[in-house]
Amino acid sequence: MSRPHELDALIGYHLRRASSVVMADLAERLSGLGLRTTEAAILVVLSAEENITQSEIGRRLSIKRANMAPLIAALIARGLIVRGKPIGRAHPLTLSRKGKTLGASARTHMDEHDADFFGNLPVDQQKQLVGILSRLWRHEADA
Amino acid sequence: MSRPHELDALIGYHLRRASSVVMADLAERLSGLGLRTTEAAILVVLSAEENITQSEIGRRLSIKRANMAPLIAALIARGLIVRGKPIGRAHPLTLSRKGKTLGASARTHMDEHDADFFGNLPVDQQKQLVGILSRLWRHEADA
DNA sequence: TATTGTTATACTCTATAACTATA
DNA sequence: TATAGTTATAGAGTATAACAATA
């Protein structure tokens, strides 16, 4: 069992450990769908807004263009994402029927996951937490 | 610039993004010392408690035994950590003079980093935040 | 037998550099 | 020239499996 130590005094340390545990749990739940967390995030973003480009998705999720290429290619190869007619070099992306279904399923898993980890917190604490966390990253989020 | 999207409704998403930004900043600060975040964490843990084994350090930081081996080997090769006489296969570890200095310096950077990101929060919010975050990971922390 | 240390290996995420194609 | 997409490559963290050495 892990004992407390020096680093417990650092808030950032708890942030890192918490994120690690929470993300590992989400990854495990999504693995049942054959999706990694990044792939699921892409499907969910596309579920809510179609015909955006892979670069645009990358911008929203802070995934670099170079890393989006193989991600999108794999999702297209699996028949989850479809490319529309190019505008310049950019392709508007949409979800296939299969992609929509899988995206919705991923979203359900995410919601349950989030509720399991944070649902027991009072709503005001939830809001405060989101306020603190989102302020931490929104500043640096111009990737 | 990044726009809000579907995933904003998930607290875990903000947790992940925040951790990512905060850790990237820490990594950048520590790179000036020639340390990665994991290496710095090891030095800081050893600063506070000497003569523990690498497996024990791994247990506290949730770093697997197999991954501790090359980490410790590199720190020994750099003359930062010294192995004591083995007890069975286990070696009690201590910091060299150089390791102590570097560990202290790393700790200072970590403190400044933490203060920069969280120091502006009211103390009661800091405590509440640590409470929430530490509860999230302490359950699953039996690595 | 249980624990420590080690090696090999693989996966995921992230990062930069350099290139092509198109508006 | 700026943006989109691609490829290659590397670094960092994490994971499992298998093995040797020692109490």
pLDDT, tens only, A85-112:
999 999 999 999 999 999 999 999 999 9
Q: Are A6 and B44 an interchain contact pair (Cβ–Cβ within 8 Å)?
A: yes
Which stretches does DSSP call E strand in B26-108?
81-83, 93-95
B86 CA vs D12 C1’ separation (Å): 30
Reported pTM: 0.95
Span B93-103, pLDDT tens digits: 999 999 999 99
Nearest CA in chain A to B128: A125
Q: Report whether pLDDT(A11) > 70.
A: yes
Cα-based distances in Å from A69 to A35, B9, B20: 17, 26, 21
pLDDT at A3: 64
Q: Which of A116, A119, A115, A113 is nearest to A29 (CA)?
A: A113
Determine whether the interchain pair B62/A7 forms a contact, defined as Cβ–Cβ distance below 8 Å. Answer: no
Question: pLDDT tens across A29-63, in order?
Answer: 999 999 999 999 999 999 999 999 999 999 999 99
Mutation for testing the A interface, residue in B13, B53, B64 having most A CBs under 10 Å: B13
Phi and psi angles of residue B87, each rounded to the nearest 5 degrees, phi first? -115, 100
Q: How confident is the model at residue A2 (pLDDT cuts 50, 70, 90)?
A: low
Instruction: Give tens-digit pLDDT for B62-73.
Output: 999 999 999 999
Degrees, nearest 5: CA angle A73-A74-A76: 65
Residue of A1, A3, A13 to mutate for B, most B C-beta atoms under 10 A: A13
State mean pLDDT over A16-22.
98
pLDDT-derived band at A140 (thresholds 50, 70, 90) equals: low
pLDDT at B87 over 70: yes
Bases of chain D within 7 A of a CB of the protein = 3-9, 12-18, 20-23
The pLDDT confidence band at residue B139, using thresholds 50, 70 and 90, is confident
Name the residue closest to the C1' of D23 by its CA: B88
Could you give phi then psi for residue A93, rounded to 5 degrees? -105, 145
Do B23 and A16 contact (CB within 8 A), yes or no?
yes
In this structure, the protein residues whose CB atom falls closer than 7 angstroms to any atom of nucleic acid strand C are A 27, 36-39, 62-64, 66-67, 86-89, 143; B 20, 24, 53-56, 65-66, 68-70, 72-73, 88-91
* A1, A3, A8, A14, best to mutate vs chain B, most B CBs in 10 Å: A14
Nearest CA in chain A to B5: A45
State chain B's mean pLDDT as an integer: 94
pLDDT for the residue numbered A26: 98
Q: Strand D contacts (CB < 7 A) among A residues 110-139?
A: none
Q: How many angstroms separate the most distant Cα atoms in chain B? A: 57
Task: Please tell me the distance from the alpha carbon of residue A112 to that of residue B42, in angstroms, as a whole number.
Answer: 35
Confidence of residue B80 (pLDDT cuts 50, 70, 90): very high
Instruction: Check residue B5 and give its pLDDT.
Output: 75
Does the structure show a pLDDT above 60 at B47? yes
Q: How much is the pLDDT for A143?
A: 37
pLDDT reported for residue A1: 45
pLDDT at residue A141 greater than cutoff 60: no
Cβ contacts of A26 on chain B, cutoff 8 Å: 12
